Amino acid sequence: MLEKTSNLAFTSIYTELGISNEVLEYSNQILTNLKDRFEQIDRISELNQLKVLSAFQKNKVSEACLQGTTGYGYNDFGRETLERVYADVFHTEDALVRPQITCGTHALALALMSNLRPGDELLSPVGKPYDTLEEVIGIRESKGSLKEYGISYQQVDLLPDGTFDYDGIRKAIHDKTKMVTIQRSKGYQTRPSFSVAQIGQLIKFIKDIRKDLIIMVDNCYGEFVEEIEPSDVGADIMVGSLIKNPGGGLAPIGGYLVGKREYIEHAAYRLTAPGLGREVGASLGVLSLFYQGFFLAPTVTASAVKGAIFAANLYKPLGFSVLPDEKESRHDIIQAITFHKRDALLAFCQGIQAASPIDSYVNPEPWDMPGYDSEVVMAAGTFISGASIELSADGPLREPYTAYFQGGLTWPHVKFGMMKTLQNLIDKNIISKDILIF
Ligand SMILES: *Cc1c(COP(=O)(O)O)cnc(C)c1O
């Protein structure tokens, strides 16, 4: 493999794209040590690919399924079949997969607002939820929050070592507790992401206390990273975004909910209207992209996971701290790299942008994003606006100057993207090429 990559065609295309020989050699050296891990990732994607294929075949997905409906969208055969495919892949009774679900936050809000009633309480046993959920729940004052509807919230933080506070969780469950929300991915926090097995243990613990509690798992960034999903270990509802892993980079919009029939039905009535539920909601022209994207999702996710591991192994030896660390097993596609330097974080993100297929000539500038307490820099030269299954990175411009990087539709592209970030740090004299050890 090394002989091949050092041959003329490779060196010249990399040179043409601005990658020096030092960076190329260093990267390939790192990769020789990752062979076994990449093989393991390929095995996971093989299994998940076959799971998806099998669900397509079992449900007799046909050319007619790829056509969409308009207007009310009654009898949308393709939409109904796709929902059965999702339910089969995730081993659940039912699924709701719709372009009318605008994003991951919307899908999560739908699951919560449709299954909770005034007087109920929601519990997060894994600490603070994703930023945007704070407004859904009403942790931060917001119009239309659960809090406004008289639904209360309790949170049990993780223990200092990142594990579950089982005593605290037991104490937090009482008569009003109705639903539990578990976020699989750390998102943009510094806690570890949870493995599906860990989530399974937590669910078992909670169900042993009260088996009627509805357990929802926020599965954003987690789909197809492992061989099993939270729905295989007792989650009653599992929720995610189609512009992340399960959309395979093709879905232009959308979210999904899978789980027990009763809870999915509640969500459908909330998404459209009482009485209408899942029977309406035209799929317009997106079904073929939903199908094809879901079909590609296992291998696209594998590329993103390889990219995250490569990034950790590329930057760790250069003295930067990485989370997850270079050896850790993976439960989502996010990689954090901490630079402790403003210009280094900027150079990293500019490298990502410069490596993108779209808008590669644009220079990402820091901006004051609403809702953030510092400037943020974002790099995303993506086909689908804001799609974080595509190569993308962002970071708040404050100590510790951490870049959160994720995505990549193909492995060669993520590999190149990471090399480009490193090259940019060298070109800007932020790090010296002499520290690239061979
Ligand atoms: C992305 C994400 C969300 C929200 O998804 P959006 O599509 O950005 O609204 C929620 N939870 C986690 C863990 C996420 O990664």
**231-254: pLDDT as tens digits:** 999 999 999 999 999 999 999 999
Q: Tell me, what CATH number does 266's domain have?
A: 3.40.640.10
Q: Would you say 136 and 104 are in contact if contact means Cβ atoms under 8 Å apart? A: no
Dihedral sign (CA 401, 377, 243, 371) = positive
* Residue whose C-alpha is closest to residue 183's, from 140, 123, 224: 123
Reply yes or no: is the peptide bond before residue 192 cis, omega within 30 of 0: no
pLDDT digit string (tens) for 169-201?
999 999 999 999 999 999 888 888 999 999 999
Residues 275 and 303 placed together within one structural domain of the fold: no
**Which atom belonging to ligand 1 lies closest to the Cα atom of 133?**
10
- Nearest protein CA to atom 12 of ligand 1, as residue: 220
pTM here is 0.96
With a 6 Å cutoff on the Cβ, whether 187 touches ligand 1 is: yes
With a 6 Å cutoff on the Cβ, whether 246 touches ligand 1 is: no
Q: Is the pLDDT of residue 5 over 60?
A: no
**Ligand 1 center to residue 400 CA distance, Å?**
23
Residues 42 and 97 placed together within one structural domain of the fold: no
pLDDT digit string (tens) for 274-308?
999 999 999 999 999 999 999 999 999 999 999 99
Q: Would you say 349 and 377 are in contact if contact means Cβ atoms under 8 Å apart? A: yes
Q: What is the DSSP letter of 213?
A: S
Backbone dihedral angles phi then psi of residue 337, each to the nearest 5 degrees: -130, 125
* Residue whose C-alpha is closest to residue 240's, from 227, 228, 229, 250: 229
> Which amino acid is it at 159?
L
**Ligand 1 center to residue 255 CA distance, Å?**
10
Domain that holds residue 359: 19-47+295-435
- Residues 6 or more apart whose CB falls under 8 angstroms from that of 108 comprise 130, 133, 136, 181, 216, 218, 239
Residues 110 and 248 placed together within one structural domain of the fold: yes
With a 6 Å cutoff on the Cβ, whether 107 touches ligand 1 is: no
Number of structural domains found in the chain? 2
Report d(CA 42, CA 35) in Å as an integer: 10
With a 6 Å cutoff on the Cβ, whether 218 touches ligand 1 is: yes
| Element holding 217 (H helix, E strand) | strand 214-218
Residues 310 and 187 placed together within one structural domain of the fold: no
Residues 315 and 366 placed together within one structural domain of the fold: yes
With a 6 Å cutoff on the Cβ, whether 424 touches ligand 1 is: no
- Region 343-371: mean pLDDT is 93
Which of these three, 249, 283, 317, is where a domain ends? 283
- Region 118-131: mean pLDDT is 96
Report d(CA 238, CA 7) in Å as an integer: 47
With a 6 Å cutoff on the Cβ, whether 132 touches ligand 1 is: yes
Residues 150 and 107 placed together within one structural domain of the fold: yes
With a 6 Å cutoff on the Cβ, whether 94 touches ligand 1 is: no
